[in-house]
Amino acid sequence: MMDQLTIDNVQRLPATEDEFGGVVVDMKEHMDVDVFRTLLKISMSRWKLQGKKGIWIKLPIYLSNLVDTAVKEGFWYHHAEPSYLMLLNWLPETVNPIPANASHIARVGAIVFNDKGELLVVQEKMGPLRGVWKISTGIIHQGEDITAGVVREVKEETGIDTEFVEVVAFSQEHNVFFGKSEVLFLCMMRPQSFEIKIQETEIEAARWMPLEEYAAQLSVQEQGLRNRIMDLCNAKAERGYSGFSPSPVTTDSNGNPSFIYFNKEDL
């Protein structure tokens, strides 16, 4: 066992302390596997003596040859992105409280009516809903607000410019994509243009459809979510149903706002 003086005077892995009593190793330079193994062992000994908790190792994809060594030293996969893999080792002999990788995907759906009361619908070229007329939907990008994401999705799929009005409802579904859950935000949109130009790579067709024709589809009658879409459309048209609008509550270090969504009419 190395003593404290020995550990304090040898080279260690490049690391910074996080605000939760842990350490983040951000590997950027190429390193021989044997050198990495030695430095990892030395660093781990020091961190244990210091009472560190969660030890993170961020490995760029070009350093994937170091993964096996880290795993043999007790690390496991926490999450992966296109350019890196994040490994984690929880040192205390306690239950690991660190949250798992992101558990949900955020999706938006756009309810768009023209001045004739017709609903903007699309048919997708692929997937289980191929051939079914449905509202425009899509995944929110990382760092993208709901309001911006739904405008983008409608534009990409149909060529229609829209303005976000409000979130009228949301739903949750589990085991959607590799075990992840999904939250779908249904958004009421106001069209700013009306000429359809479809995204030919993903969309088979798009059109403005009378709500009664949309409701008459067998798939609408069989699926609960689509029934709720119909209920929302009718409630909005007949009773002036109001949804949730965004209000900024804080900003991050880059000046990007965070929002809370609520029914402003009830306040």
Residues catalogued as catalytic: 156
Residues 6+ apart with CB under 8 A from 18: 24, 54, 56
CA separation, residue 131 to residues 88, 104, 142, 215, 250 (Å): 44, 27, 29, 15, 43
Cα–Cα distance for residue pair 87/54, rounded to 1 Å: 10
CA separation, residue 108 to residues 137, 164, 259 (Å): 5, 12, 16
Cα–Cα distance for residue pair 135/112, rounded to 1 Å: 8
Contact 14, 43 (CB under 8 A): no
CA separation, residue 61 to residues 32, 143, 150, 248 (Å): 15, 22, 32, 37
Burial per residue of 200-226, b for 16 or more beta-carbon CB atoms within 10 angstroms, e otherwise: eeebeebebbeeeebbebeebeeeeeb
Cα–Cα distance for residue pair 22/40, rounded to 1 Å: 15
In which element (H, E) is residue 109 found?
A: strand 104-112
Q: ∠ CA(169), CA(119), CA(166), 5° rounding?
A: 30
Please name which of 113, 63, 110, 60 lies closest in space to residue 84, comparing C-alpha atoms.
60
- Backbone φ, ψ for residue 22 (5° rounding): -115, -170
